[in-house]
A and B are shown apart, each in its own frame.
Chain A
Amino acid sequence: MAMDNVWVFAEAADGQVKTITLEMLAKAREIADEVSCFFAGDGDDVAEILGEHGASTVFATGDLDNALVGPPVAAALAAKIEADGAPDLIMFGTTYDGRDVAGRLSAKLGAPVITNVVDLVVDGDAVAGVEPVFGGTTNVTTRFTGDAVKIVLIRPKSFAAEPAGGSAADVEDLDVPDLGNTGTATVTARLVEETSGPKLEEAAIVVSGGRGLGEASKYEMVERLAKLLKAAPGASRAIVDAGWVPYSYQVGQTGKVVKPTVYVACGISGATQHMVGMKGAKYIIAINKDKEAPIFSIADLGIVGDVHKVMPKLIEALEGR
């Protein structure tokens, strides 16, 4: 029933393994007898936590000298597969680097990629990915055919991360072959845009603002409300593109996927691309002056009203508590 072995692309930021990696490990453990990770960096930094979440081995490239990770990791994996054979499935998170490595590996191996996967269906040797389309109203299940290596890109928050209590993963070197011209893109600086309060992906409450706020300075209402609720502030793409807030605030298909207990949408219409990023919230509250706004079709509590009237009163009421 289960697969023999699955490989998972492990990613870390600021010395911490990303949640998406741990989410994938939870699923990988469920569908395969043996789970290994591959990692762009020093394997010893991550062996313990990856082991605790079910990986038996981590193949690590070591320091990549500021190269973008797509070409070296894809080339190293292709070489390993050539030498030692392929696993039954390779899982990547839908992240910046995950897509880069998956794309390059797919081209190298002539292997198909099933993308935007939120669930995996394994039946004997057959593997299928479930992908939500049309703003999550329809699920399309796609199965791999043929003998090529199977690659999937998993959307964040599709599975619940949970430690399995394993010991540290064995670290094995993953040799990077000569990349020629493909490996010449180099990172010269890394910049972090400061955000305050809890992280968007992890907060129990998210308060997001959209174009309905009217102007950039009014985003302050979202920040104040978020602070009062110990929530993370988020945004629709409309106001990220308009430059009101940094991209790291964006919720949706091209932004972050959030699954908080409560999501408060202020002046957001509820475009399908926004909804795929937040409809997993347990409760949704929406404030919008247009009673036909699509966001109301998924809101547990909808307030048809002006954000400039409702939000200040809400802030005042919460401040008074």
Chain B
Amino acid sequence: MMRLAQHNSGMHVVVCVKQIPDPAEPGSLDPATKTLKRTGNIILDESDSYGVEMALQLVTNAGGGTVSLVSMAPGGETKGLRTALAMGASDAILVSDPALSGTDALGTAKVLAAAIARKSPDLVLTATESSDGYTGTVPSQIAELMGLPSVTFAKSIEIDGSSVNVRRQTESGYEEVTCPLPAVVSVTAGVVEPRYPSFKGIMAAKSKPVEVLTVADLGLSASDVGWAGGGQEIVEIAAAEAREAGRVVEDEGEGFAEIVTFLENLKVI
């Protein structure tokens, strides 16, 4: 179990940030490895930029501290980390190892939990789900592995002494949740407005420390991660039944009438 960090001063936050293929470029699966191709431009997952911004604001409000980043990427990618460092994070741990290829959510959580523990933070932030994997299970897996409480789907976060108060999204509204620190909190998009890195920030990011660790450095074995650790295998990749495009008409003042007729034919009006 983790204890409240004995840092000198201020608030210490770790933000998990995933580096993903640019969603603007069409994705594809590598038929050989059955994993998402990571050949194009690798960027900071936009979903995680909210966590970075939130962490920076919480540290500022606490009157000081640090925001550390933790990322796992099989090929040593740092571009997304540099973006988050340019926003104002202090330092980063990158876990990179060829053995990580094919790692599932639980394996990812094991790696991230081990890396986060090295920082003994007061608070761990993640996104509710990544843009490319969207399992949405990594945050609670990390919390369980670290023996920590967690609050998922935060739409606002406030630190109150040694607790965190969270507005947690629900299907019909939200709930107020209070939780002692240290804790894992996953944040939704829109929780804060992520800042754009300034020129100064971009320059400063170049010299900020990024510690690169392997699976072995974290005390994990190769059988915990990668395809070996997964307990699942992809057996088929197939095109889904496509929806045909229908009639497209230019509106020249009568477009609305097309809709009325369409609805009439369906007998819904």
Contact = CB atoms under 8 A, between A and B. Distances in A.
A317 to B, nearest CB: 5
A263 B194 CA distance: 32
B236 A140 contact: yes
A134 B131 CA distance: 11
A182 B268 contact: no
A128 B238 CA distance: 14
B141 interface: yes
A19 to B, nearest CB: 11
Contacts of A133: 27, 29
B176 A189 contact: yes
B49 to A, nearest CB: 12
B262 A114 contact: no
Interface in A101-117: 101-104, 106-108, 110-116
Interface stretch (A23-31, A52-60, A143-151): A143-151
Contacts of B28: 134
Contact of B147 (A100, A148, A180, A243): A180
A192 B173 contact: yes
Interface residues of B, number: 79
Overall SS of chain A's interface: mixed
Contact of B243 (A110, A241, A298): A298
B135 A193 contact: no
Nearest to A192: B173
A306 B176 CA distance: 41
Given A99-B140, A302-B249, A321 B269 contact: yes
Interface stretch (B72-80, B114-122, B149-157): B149-157
A8 interface: no
A302 B233 contact: no
A304 interface: yes
B139 to A, nearest CB: 7
B89 interface: no
A197 to B, nearest CB: 14
B31 to A, nearest CB: 12
A184 B149 contact: yes
Given A185-B151, A301-B249, 13 more contacts: A14-B172, A106-B137, A136-B240, A153-B136, A181-B147, A182-B143, A184-B179, A187-B168, A190-B176, A262-B266, A301-B246, A301-B259, A302-B248
Interface of B: 1, 26-29, 104-106, 109, 128-129, 134-141, 143-145, 147-153, 155, 168-180, 183, 188-190, 230-240, 242-243, 245-251, 253, 255-260, 262-263, 266, 268-269
Q: List 4 A-B pairs, minimum CB-CB distance, nearest first.
A: A305-B251, A103-B140, A112-B231, A107-B144
23 contacts: A14-B172, A104-B144, A106-B105, A107-B140, A111-B106, A115-B134, A115-B137, A138-B237, A138-B239, A142-B233, A184-B149, A189-B175, A229-B263, A243-B190, A261-B268, A262-B263, A262-B266, A279-B243, A284-B246, A297-B243, A300-B262, A302-B248, A317-B256
